[in-house]
Structure formats: C-alpha cells, structure tokens
Structure 1
Amino acid sequence: MSLSFLITSLIVIVSPGTGVLYTLAAALTRGSRMSVAAAFGCTLGIVPHLAAAMLGLAAVLHTSALAFAALKWLGVLYLLYMAWQALRQRGALAVDSRVDARSAAKVVVTGFLINILNPKLSIFFLAFLPQFIAAGEAHPLLVMLELGGVFMAMTFAVFVVYGLFAAKVRERIISRPAAMAWLRRAFAGGFAALGARLALAER
C-alpha cells in the first residue's frame, strides 16, 4: 500500500462534507458517544459504494442518466430533510443526552443513509481506487477490497476525532440558548448547501 494512497485518502476524508457535518452535529447535540455512532454510520454507508465499485455497478451510475438522477435526487431530498430537522431540533439532531440502544441505532441509520444516498461516492471509488492497483495485479478485486477497508478505517478514525473534539465544547454551547439557535441554523444551512451542491452534480 503506497504512501500516496494514504495521503490522498486523508485529504479526501478530512475535507468537510456531509459525513463530517453530521458527525459534528451529533457530537454537539448528543455528546461523544453519539458522535462515535454517527461516525460508524457514515463509515458503514461507504460499504455499498465500495461494493458497487467492485461489482461494476458504479459504471451503471456513470453511464445511466436515469439511475444517477434517481439516487442523486433522493440524496438531495434527504439532505434537505436533515436541514429541516436541524432547524426544528428534531430527529437524530435533537439535543438529547440519552445514549440508549434505540437512540444510537437512529443516529447510525441516519449516518448510513446520508452516505448511501450520494451517487458520487460510488463513482469516486470506481475512479479513485484503481489508480493504486498495479496493472499486472493478479487479484485486483482483493487489492481494491483492502484499499477500501483502509479508507473506511481512516474515515472512522478521522470522524471520531472530529466528533470527540466537538463533544468537548458541547456543554458550553447547549447551556446557551442563543448559541444553540445559531448552531441549528448553521447546521441547517450546511445541509441545505450540501444538498444544493449534490443537486448540481453531474455524472
């Protein structure tokens, strides 16, 4: 595994996106344990895209305007729904100190849906991973699986760091209603902006 793959992957992972935003939101509204659950859900959402890239399904998204548009608009609608939930302080982003199994499962599922409904991820893996597989590799799918596994592990680790850092300042923020109101608007605006960016995305 090359150093260039690790460095490139890290740059991609640390760049702000829906997963990072959701993990930060979970940390600030629900605490450190829920930020880990959010990071896990977002990482889990990579699995279908990695499988799609390995099975060639990502190529279908790349060539089929209808398939790409269908998944893209589902993703856009879900991000707008997340923005609405953030504004209304409901759903997985509601301020809540509970860490029971039901709450954690809801946070994980939301993180999973955020990533799985982004068709650009499948196309990203289809274009990104083969660059780091030697032309004469006897088992390219196994190497792709290994690279994907490392990418997922790095994603989870980085998101957890983001979440734990945000959780450290959580108490200072939730005790101030004005700060929380501003934060809800910021997260709502962030999800809406990401939804708009996805809406403008092309294959």
Structure 2
Amino acid sequence: MIESIIAFMGATALLAFSPGPDNIYVLTQSVANGRNSGLATTAGLISGCIVHTTLVAFGLSAIIATSPTVFFAIKLLGALYLVYLAYSVFKSDAKVSLTDGAPKKSYTALFKQGVMMNILNPKVTIFFLAFFPGFLWDPDGNTVIQFYILGILFMIESLFIFGGIAVLAGSISGYLRKSEKVGVVLKWVQIIVFIGIAVFILI
C-alpha cells in the first residue's frame, strides 16, 4: 500500500508540474489579475475533481470486481491513452502564451468557473480512468475506498502545487517571457511524463 501511494504521489507531482490547460490557466489568471485570482481558480479546479473521482470509483469498481483480465485490460487502455496524450502534445505547438487575456472577475466567479471547467471536461474523467487503476494496491479489496483515497491525495497535492504556481506566477511568467526555448522544454516535459507513467502502469 505504502509503495503504491508513494508512487502515486510522485506521478501526481510530475503531472501537476508539467504544463497543461489547467495550470497554464491558473498561471494566466495570476499574471493578469494577481495571485488571489489564481488561487480562487485553483480551488475551483480542484473541487471539480470530486465529481470525477466519484464517477471513476463507482464505475470502475464494479468492473474490476468481475475479472482480473478486465482489470489488466483497463490498465492497458489507460497506458495507451497516456501514450496518445504524449503524441498529441508532440504534434502540438510548443508555444506557451500568458497574454491571451484573462478578464478580471470576482473570486467567487473564478471559483465557480474553475469547478465548471473541470466537471464539464470529459477528458478529466477519461484521464482519471487511465491514471488511477494502475495505483490500486489491492484490486481484490474495497476499490471504492482506494479510489477515494487516491482522489483525495490527488486533490491535496494538486492544490498545493497549483497554489504554488499562483503565488509564484510573477517570477515564473517573467522567465517564460525571457526564454524562447522554454516552450519546447515544457512540451517535452509533458511527453516524458505521460510516457513514463504509461510504462509504470503496465509494469
């Protein structure tokens, strides 16, 4: 159990730090409107993960209980999905823009927007489906509880990391603007993280 949780926390940290739509949006809000705007957005995004965790916990638990073969198939599909994400990043533009415009909103509005952005994004549920099963420590035990434990850990760690990005947004954005190569570096960080976790899930 401990080994699985440590591995999960390490993988979650890599994912949270690797640039994606959520943390780039947090960064944009913080640069444009201050760190509190970024923190409000972060709180909303993380809160939305409760819904996805619930969907995965109750949906997958019933499937996993039926057959070890089905469980392996789910992990295999998850790994393939992560490889697909890596390929999608590879084919995408390497630029990271912090100047797309982030209109000033109240903290409550930003929180609500973060929640809705997360809940209404089906890719988040698909990602949870791909990511979480590889870190269950006892597929024969109560998988609903295990999924919730992983979900809570995911939210807590992401909250601290996204919050850190919001607080340090000024210095981070300055560095991003100065370096022409940083977009390429961030792009390859995502690719390596996705492929690395895919391999870990399979082995």
Q: TM-score range by the shorter chain?
A: 0.5 to 0.7
1:165 matched residue in structure 2: 164
Q: Does 1:152 align with 2:151?
A: yes
Q: Where does 1:1-203 land on structure 2 (aligned, <5 Å)?
A: 9=5, 12-15=8-11, 16-21=13-18, 22=20, 24-31=23-30, 32=38, 33-40=40-47, 44-57=51-64, 59-64=68-73, 69-82=76-89, 87-89=94-96, 96-98=101-103, 104=114, 105-106=116-117, 109=121, 112=124, 115-116=127-128, 118=130, 120-125=131-136, 128-129=137-138, 141=142, 144-176=143-175, 177-179=177-179, 181-198=180-197, 200=199, 202=202
Match of 1:56, SS state, is helix
Structure 2, unmatched stretches of 5+, are 31-37
Contact preservation (8 Å) 1:24, 1:162: no
Match of 1:17, SS state, is helix
Q: Percent identity?
A: 8
> In the aligned structure 1, how far is the partner of 2:84 from the partner of 2:186?
16
Contact preservation (8 Å) 1:39, 1:160: yes
Residue-pair matches, total: 181
TM-score w.r.t. structure 2 length?
A: 0.61
TM-score w.r.t. structure 1 length?
A: 0.61
> In the aligned structure 2, how far is the partner of 1:10 from the partner of 1:111?
25
Report the CA distance between 1:171 and its aligned residue: 1.8
> In the aligned structure 2, how far is the partner of 1:151 from the partner of 1:115?
14
Structure 1 residues 117 and 188: alpha-carbon distance in aligned structure 2, compared to 1, 3 A threshold: farther
